[in-house]
Amino acid sequence: MSIGLAEQLLADNPAAAQRLLTEAQEASGHALAELRDLVRGI
C-alpha cells in the first residue's frame, strides 16, 4: 500500500512521501464515500 511506501520514502524523499500520503488520503476518502452510498442503498 502507498502508506507503507511513503513511510519508507520519508527519510530520503519527504516530498515524494507527502505526495503518496495525499494520494492515499484522497483514495480512502473516495472509498469511504462509496461505502456510505452502498450502505444507504441497503
What's the predicted TM-score (pTM) here?
0.77
Give residue 29's pLDDT: 96
pLDDT score for 34 = 97
DSSP letter for 1, please: -
Tell me: the pLDDT tens digits for 4-32? 999 999 999 999 999 999 999 999 999 99
Whether the per-residue pLDDT at 1 is higher than 80: the answer is no
Neighbouring C-beta atoms of residue 35, cutoff 10 Å? 10
Q: 23: part of which helix (H) or strand (E)? A: helix 14-40
Distance of CA 33 to the CA centre of its chain: 13
Report CA 8 to chain centroid distance, whole Å: 15
Q: What is the pLDDT of residue 2?
A: 83
* Under 8 Å between Cβ of 24 and 1: yes
